Structure 1
């Protein structure tokens, strides 16, 4: 139910003697709204009463008087539609008749008896306005002219509201984390925000997991981006925490979403300025590990809205690691010991330009351009010793400079036409392109520290994508909604790589002993879907659908830079039918039960396909596998949520079965003694069962606490190389438990404080266990300049000397213990300020947009609400 009709019904319900309001208990959606019922049919608490207005009461005086007029916004001059106009008796000061303004702001009251009256105008977001008293005689026709309704400035946040928006909200197919309530992430980036979201885990490298799986899809305003597709961890550092409004965790996506993302979808929703006028927001921060500066402006006048933004973030982190591994080479056992230190100096930035324009009252057009840049530079020293039978075989000292650089452009153009409430058609187009450079340069030093040799790896990648999609939805009666649409995605990857070597002096030349070449990978996807929502009178909501996707792949590879001869890779095309079912049941007392099933596919990502052999650390060589095929996952989930007094509780159990699972595999190198190659394979199966519970409670009106626990059991089975050179079947299983706790306190005179803590236990992998880690922070903030700005201070991991994580790997041919120490103690100061004048303007309808949630990120082991308009995004070829 939109706000116009809700306000009308509430107002009419107060007019005693004028109308008979008949209610039934028909259920039009689950608590919290969202897509559990047809869009627009849910109010704030998820229930909607069916109303029937039967007309004016029989005792209302009748006559032939008439009143007409036009309601307009006092600032913009736009018509105010669906506002309430009450005819008040001057003597009794009670309403005796009434009506509402139409879509053009016009209103009419007829058949009025003679008497002394006044009109009272009211609508959400505006001040109540009373007309001067007037007299109606027999046959009087009175035109009130253009009535200017003034905005209620209290809707602009100038009023001190005691109640607080919940930090965590639940909708029919997702959990919503209101990030703008989190102050300790100010001055940080998106990874700092995601660390605080229930069911999510962010490791020390910034890799994100949902319920123990990194097989997820990350969207920004319901859109992907090629830079996100290349590396989720790096892309999150480009998004300023101060611009994030909410983070949506979608564990059971409907058929409308792309079938990719085995564990689910994470949608990061940024703040959008919907008020009228010219504004400029400044966000700045300085800390021991990072500094940032952001400028975001907007202009909105009449039918046109323009936004322009820029953000930059520079980081400076130190880390160290130790490695102790044993490999079996033939009959000989080799032990390798390595000590390494690193100094990271990444710089990230993004710039956005957006337009939206109302072509007509029921048609809108949006266009967005986003440019992102990443400059990740790392200086590393590596001291490696190799032993056989406790005798030193070799010692190598390397100084390595890594450059991981990229630039991405995402552009979109979206059109939407609304025929009537809940019936609309949209068409969306999107183009995205990313250039990615992943190089390293190494100086090889002798035992006395002298330069003996040099090495360089060049790896240049280009990813581009073109998407077009169309969607249509229409209501069927009052409790059913039908949605269907189609989509086409054209992707292309071009990756070229080579090694160069040289002595202590002179030019570098092509290295014939290391692989070089190129990969050209084309992927074309055609998809169609249908989704049906039905809400029963007994408060059951059913959302069922199915999606069909056909993926065609053509790929060719070259194994040398000296010729342009390519060999075709015979990667077969494939088709998938992916059903989804979401069921919810609302009980008395605000309790909701939900059950869901869906099938997902996970296509390999660029880092998993890229055949470049990365030897930046010769003891841990990484290489992709162009012959990977997609994995299929069946997901099941049961959950219950309820509000008990001031405490919100949610508990869920889930299960996940993945076939043809993509996972990292470690094997000893055939060419370099003591080193390990990390690659990707379709290993076999993964089975996961788990549960999570979280709460949010308000101890007082100004003090809230939230937190939760989650855990899962995972079983993995796959193949790897055995001691005799043949493949052997291996398996591993384990339990991982994590939790978080956060408390926020609003103090007097604009002061506020927050504490946050998080831990994640050991995480099982096919060949070992990833170590546990933790983090914590505390922050305070003071509002200044009548809440136009704020100054904050936050400290992170300030006890001790950073975080240590211990990872172990085991297989028939190798064992490894890797200890990483991140010196991430941090102290930061943040500053925000808003410039410009805001005036009220009704919400503008935005166009739908492309959402390519269908690829898998390259890091780590594979372990609704309807989409709204958003800034441009893209996806990368896979």
Structure 2
């Protein structure tokens, strides 16, 4: 019995020793400490990684403690090497580290790392703008990457803005009110006197970077836009060297759009230029059925209309920035816009009695073309200061716009058997010319622990002329006879002088601003046909 117990004990000890030799129950450990080779100072949080020599596979890793010491435990028997590293130091390798039953613990002692200078390459940090930024008096909508409006015009972009609606004729309204001012880069549009619809249609969506919707206009802005102000910010690159972008778009419904933007930047000058063009052809069809009941007398109106609408535009812009120093910049820019609307349509009208019998029939065809063009010259100055947010700006702007419209109308009359009886010919001629000078300056000064002060002035000089002529064709004399009752020739001159001041601040999360604006307006108008005139000063 005693012999058996001794035999079992010896067998168990032999088995444990054999297992340790095979490495099945590892107990090896590698220790050491990291120091700076030049200063002999402790290196804390240094990286120490242990690799197996035979296949360079990573076995274990750790970091040095506050005394520079590190410890790698529970290692199997074998050959290893260590890689020690830290930011700003050259990586150090220590090989031929053997862990076996005779050397279960290996102390590497002090490991000295040498400092190393590393030349870093350029670092490019990229990010994306917020889609919508809300400020105290305005909302900024970044639409540069809005793919839903690609190939369209500013009308399509504006139509995607919440609270803004655009009807079928392109008229823009904010919360149901169409009294909106449209600015381009914070300045009046080159299309002085044109409708908001015409202005937005002339701007391709591809050239827009962002739109500022001023929902609560401050005293800085003209009081005309009581509903709001749309400030369209156009793209303008400021990268160094020569850069540019070219785009071509083809859309369904016979729509085509192309643009090119170029920019060349030197240490003191920045040259920029752009050109874009849009072509759009639309066909329209419609049908109107109306029942009239007048004093129990029933009649019907049936209208069929077919037409083609064509639009084309060309926009050219060029300019330069002169960067005098880090605080002063002078800019001159020129922008030219030319676009036109052509339409060709016919309306077939049938009048019928209560028995649905034809009582009258005629066809009215309309061929019209409307061409508009405008130039805008801007000289600007901008000065910044060491104080963040403080700036002084000044602008001199000349806008010149003209519009011509020709319309030919032919009404063909028929009897109830649809036999032609007569033709009525009418012609409409319109021409508008508008010139506007703007002189303005604005100064912003944020004062610590006091608030933000803004002040400035604006002078606007307008000179507008509008002429309309209508002529009817006389078949007896084969001459076009002018219609004096519809003829107009109107001149309008306006001078507005304005100064303003604004104070803004915040109390915790509550922001507020107060402003005061004073204006003097001198208006002269005259109508050459009726020989009437008026003058207003207020």
Q: Note whether the superposition's TM-score is higher than 0.5.
A: yes
2:261 to 296, 309, 328: 296
Once the 2 structures are TM-superposed, how far is the Cα of residue 180 of structure 1 from its aligned partner?
2.3
Once the 2 structures are TM-superposed, how far is the Cα of residue 449 of structure 1 from its aligned partner?
6.0
Equivalent in the alignment of 2:341: 376
Superposed CA RMSD: 3.4
Q: 1:255-306, CA deviations, whole angstroms, 9 ceiling, x for partnerless residues?
A: 1122221211112222221210111211111123211111111111111011
Give the Cα–Cα distance (whole angstroms) in 2 for the partners of residues 439 and 130 of structure 1: 77
Equivalent in the alignment of 2:65: none
2:467 to 469, 474, 496: 496
- Determine whether 1:197 maps to 2:170: no
Aligned 8 A contact 2:238 2:263 in 1: no
1:533 to 494, 504, 514: 504
TM-score by length of 2: 0.71
Closer, same or farther: CA 333–411 of 1 in aligned 2, 3 Å: farther
2:406 to 431, 436, 439: 439
Once the 2 structures are TM-superposed, how far is the Cα of residue 392 of structure 1 from its aligned partner?
6.3
Closer, same or farther: CA 552–407 of 1 in aligned 2, 3 Å: same
2:132 to 161, 165, 168: 168
Aligned 8 A contact 1:354 1:369 in 2: yes
Q: 1:125-168, CA deviations, whole angstroms, 9 ceiling, x for partnerless residues?
A: xxxx9999xxxxxxxxxxxxxxxx9873523x5xxx7xx64433
Equivalent in the alignment of 1:551: 521
- Determine whether 1:412 maps to 2:393: no
Once the 2 structures are TM-superposed, how far is the Cα of residue 436 of structure 1 from its aligned partner?
0.7
Aligned 8 A contact 2:191 2:399 in 1: no
- Determine whether 1:223 maps to 2:191: no
Give the Cα–Cα distance (whole angstroms) in 1 for the partners of residues 506 and 521 of structure 2: 34
Closer, same or farther: CA 479–346 of 1 in aligned 2, 3 Å: same
Once the 2 structures are TM-superposed, how far is the Cα of residue 328 of structure 1 from its aligned partner?
12
1:518 to 477, 489, 494: 489
Give the Cα–Cα distance (whole angstroms) in 2 for the partners of residues 333 and 522 of structure 1: 52
Closer, same or farther: CA 336–275 of 1 in aligned 2, 3 Å: same
Aligned 8 A contact 1:187 1:291 in 2: yes
Give the Cα–Cα distance (whole angstroms) in 1 for the partners of residues 361 and 535 of structure 2: 42
Q: 1:757-802, CA deviations, whole angstroms, 9 ceiling, x for partnerless residues?
A: xxxxxxxxxxxxxxxxxxxxxxxxxxxxxxxxxxxxxxxxxxxxxx
Equivalent in the alignment of 1:267: 231
Q: 1:83-109, CA deviations, whole angstroms, 9 ceiling, x for partnerless residues?
A: xxxxxx996789xxxxxxxxxxxxxxx
Aligned 8 A contact 1:498 1:510 in 2: no
Aligned 8 A contact 2:392 2:441 in 1: yes
Once the 2 structures are TM-superposed, how far is the Cα of residue 339 of structure 1 from its aligned partner?
2.9
- Determine whether 1:469 maps to 2:440: yes
Q: Which ranges in structure 2 are unaligned for 5 or more consecutive residues?
A: 1-38, 45-86, 91-118
Equivalent in the alignment of 1:455: 426
Task: Map 1:236-385; keep pairs closer than 5 Å.
Answer: 236-289=200-253, 290-323=255-288, 337-385=302-350
Give the Cα–Cα distance (whole angstroms) in 2 for the partners of residues 367 and 491 of structure 1: 22
Aligned 8 A contact 1:474 1:483 in 2: yes
Once the 2 structures are TM-superposed, how far is the Cα of residue 386 of structure 1 from its aligned partner?
5.2
Q: 1:685-720, CA deviations, whole angstroms, 9 ceiling, x for partnerless residues?
A: xxxxxxxxxxxxxxxxxxxxxxxxxxxxxxxxxxxx
Flag the structure with larger Rg: 2
SS in structure 1 opposite 2:486? coil
Aligned 8 A contact 2:193 2:434 in 1: no
Closer, same or farther: CA 402–301 of 1 in aligned 2, 3 Å: same
- Determine whether 1:214 maps to 2:196: no
Aligned 8 A contact 1:386 1:394 in 2: yes
1:398 to 364, 375, 378: 364
1:188 to 149, 152, 165: 152
Give the Cα–Cα distance (whole angstroms) in 1 for the partners of residues 475 and 306 of structure 2: 23
Closer, same or farther: CA 516–91 of 1 in aligned 2, 3 Å: farther
Aligned 8 A contact 1:488 1:525 in 2: yes
Give the Cα–Cα distance (whole angstroms) in 1 for the partners of residues 285 and 408 of structure 2: 19
Once the 2 structures are TM-superposed, how far is the Cα of residue 175 of structure 1 from its aligned partner?
2.2
Closer, same or farther: CA 366–131 of 1 in aligned 2, 3 Å: farther
Give the Cα–Cα distance (whole angstroms) in 1 for the partners of residues 88 and 188 of structure 2: 50
Equivalent in the alignment of 1:800: none
Aligned 8 A contact 1:228 1:234 in 2: no
SS in structure 2 opposite 1:466? strand
Closer, same or farther: CA 334–459 of 1 in aligned 2, 3 Å: farther
Closer, same or farther: CA 481–335 of 1 in aligned 2, 3 Å: same
Aligned 8 A contact 2:219 2:502 in 1: yes
SS in structure 1 opposite 2:188? coil
SS in structure 1 opposite 2:216? coil
SS in structure 2 opposite 1:218? strand
TM-score by length of 1: 0.45
SS in structure 2 opposite 1:272? coil
Aligned 8 A contact 1:427 1:470 in 2: yes
Closer, same or farther: CA 476–402 of 1 in aligned 2, 3 Å: same
Closer, same or farther: CA 166–472 of 1 in aligned 2, 3 Å: closer
Q: Which ranges in structure 1 are unaligned for 5 or more consecutive residues?
A: 1-88, 95-128, 133-148, 560-564, 575-878
Aligned 8 A contact 1:553 1:572 in 2: yes
Give the Cα–Cα distance (whole angstroms) in 2 for the partners of residues 318 and 228 of structure 1: 30
Task: Map 1:143-182; keep pairs closer than 5 Å.
Answer: 152-155=122-125, 157=126, 165-182=129-146
Give the Cα–Cα distance (whole angstroms) in 1 for the partners of residues 441 and 321 of structure 2: 19
Task: Map 1:534-683; keep pairs closer than 5 Å.
Answer: 534-536=505-507, 538-559=508-529, 566-568=531-533, 570=534, 572-574=536-538
Closer, same or farther: CA 418–320 of 1 in aligned 2, 3 Å: same
Once the 2 structures are TM-superposed, how far is the Cα of residue 471 of structure 1 from its aligned partner?
1.8
